[in-house]
């Protein structure tokens, strides 16, 4: 005890955290290198097979063909990324905001949860692609149906995780708050909110990639711009290299979103959520 008391808390923690971070970086760097190597091997095999068997470019383009398309069509791809990104981002914000608000209402009121949780699950079971045409009829050809589809996709994972997170509080901490006569809102702001953050971020990392998918599906059912639109156009004219290029752009959007959320998570959650203090 004496030894622990005499050491400076900031110093010991600094060392511990540095070691942990280094470990992560070292492992991470190795992991990244191996993943890149794996990808390179796959691409080489792909390139080799396409060239050796002389596969026509409209059937399967070689990776180099895709790279060329990516470069030549860069303006077109960038231009069409804007609406898709906008729809995905708005859908992400809308779906997650509503999900968190609904989760809060569930935590505050059990009756509301009993009434509407089953409805939420019911919505979840409907394939989004099946709802898309309905939304198009209801909302027209504008940005609205795309945003709504992206929002719907984001909604469910965040709702489930937020509800779970708000409840993932040490029961003794709830007892302590009770002994302190804390109000429901105080318990929420001081405890439940923070307890839910790691759960919320797990859901956000899923939904940030899903919202891109939602926006693209939305564009498929009626749009004259966007990555989804470009995918359909490229398919109709058998411009397969460009089709592959759009896939890469869409995938890059999802990865960038994921990285952004992960970065934000590391900023916000400065404690170890798994640790029981």
Partner 1 sequence: MKAGKPESMPVAIDLREVSVTFGTGDTAIRAVDKVSLSVQEGEFVSLIGHSGCGKSTLLRVIADIIPPTSGEAEVLGMEPGDARKQRAVSMVFQQSVLMPWDTVLENVRMPLEVGPTRHQSSGAMSPMEALKLVELDGFENAYPAQLSGGMRQRVAIARALVTKPRVLLMDEPFGALDELVRDSLNVELLRIWGEAGMTIVFVTHSLQEAVFLSQRVAVMSRRPSRIAAVTSVALPENREIAVKDTPELGQQVALLRSILDEG
Question: Which window, 61-69, 95-103, 169-177, 217-225, contacts partner 1 (CB under 8 A)?
Answer: 169-177
Q: Which of 186, 235, 251, 266 binds partner 1 (CB under 8 A)?
A: 186
- Cα-Cα end-to-end distance for the chain: 18
What is the closest distance, in whole angstroms, from the C-beta atom of residue 175 to partner 1 in the complex?
5
Asked if 224 is part of the footprint of partner 1 (rule: CB under 8 A), the reply reads no
What is the closest distance, in whole angstroms, from the C-beta atom of residue 206 to partner 1 in the complex?
23
Question: Which window, 36-44, 100-108, 134-142, 172-180, contacts partner 1 (CB under 8 A)?
Answer: 172-180
Q: Which of 53, 119, 122, 179 binds partner 1 (CB under 8 A)?
A: 179
Asked if 167 is part of the footprint of partner 1 (rule: CB under 8 A), the reply reads no
Asked if 168 is part of the footprint of partner 1 (rule: CB under 8 A), the reply reads no
Region 127-146 residues binding partner 1, contact defined as CB under 8 A: none
Region 6-45 residues binding partner 1, contact defined as CB under 8 A: 9-10, 12-13, 16
Q: Which of 111, 125, 181, 224 binds partner 1 (CB under 8 A)?
A: 181
Distances in whole angstroms, Cα of residue 38 to Cα of each of 43, 105, 194, 245:
9, 46, 39, 20
Asked if 183 is part of the footprint of partner 1 (rule: CB under 8 A), the reply reads yes
What is the closest distance, in whole angstroms, from the C-beta atom of residue 240 to partner 1 in the complex?
51
Q: Which of 68, 97, 233, 273 binds partner 1 (CB under 8 A)?
A: 273
CB atoms within 10 A of CB 263: 10
Residue 53 CB partners (closer than 8 Å, separation 6+): none
Q: Which of 25, 42, 176, 259 binds partner 1 (CB under 8 A)?
A: 176
Asked if 255 is part of the footprint of partner 1 (rule: CB under 8 A), the reply reads no
Q: Which of 130, 172, 224, 267 binds partner 1 (CB under 8 A)?
A: 172
Residue 187 CB partners (closer than 8 Å, separation 6+): 174, 177
Q: Which of 57, 68, 123, 182 binds partner 1 (CB under 8 A)?
A: 182
Region 194-213 residues binding partner 1, contact defined as CB under 8 A: 194
Residue 190: exposure state from Cβ atoms within 10 A (0-12, 13-18, ≥19): middle
Q: Which residues bind partner 1 (CB under 8 A)?
A: 1, 4-5, 9-10, 12-13, 16, 170, 172-173, 175-183, 186-187, 190-191, 194, 269-273, 275-277
């Amino acid at each position: 005890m004496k030894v622990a008391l005499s050491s400076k808390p900031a110093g010991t923690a600094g060392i511990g955290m540095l070691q942990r971070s280094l470990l992560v970086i070292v492992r991470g760097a190795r992991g990244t290198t191996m993943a890149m190597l794996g990808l390179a091997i796959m691409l080489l095999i792909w390139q080799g097979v396409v060239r050796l068997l002389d596969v026509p470019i409209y059937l399967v383009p070689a990776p180099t063909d895709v790279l060329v398309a990516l470069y030549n069509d860069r303006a077109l791809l960038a231009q069409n990324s804007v609406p898709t990104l906008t729809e995905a981002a708005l859908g992400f914000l809308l779906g997650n905001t509503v999900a968190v608000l609904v989760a809060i209402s569930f935590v505050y009121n059990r009756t509301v949860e009993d009434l509407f949780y089953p409805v939420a699950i019911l919505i979840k079971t409907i394939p989004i692609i099946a709802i898309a045409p309905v939304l198009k009829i209801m909302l027209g050809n504008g940005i609205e149906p795309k945003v709504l589809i992206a929002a719907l996709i984001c909604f469910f994972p965040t709702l489930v995780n937020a509800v779970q997170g708000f409840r993932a509080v040490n029961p003794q901490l709830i007892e302590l708050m009770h002994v302190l006569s804390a109000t429901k809102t105080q318990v929420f702001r001081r405890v439940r909110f923070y307890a839910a953050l790691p759960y919320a971020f797990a859901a956000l990392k899923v939904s940030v990639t899903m919202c891109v998918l939602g926006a693209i599906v939305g564009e498929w059912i009626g749009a004259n711009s966007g990555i989804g639109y470009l995918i359909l156009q490229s398919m109709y004219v058998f411009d397969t290299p460009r089709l592959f290029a759009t896939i890469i752009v869409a995938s890059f959007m999802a990865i960038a979103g994921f990285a952004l959320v992960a970065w934000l998570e590391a900023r916000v959650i400065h404690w170890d959520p798994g640790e029981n203090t």
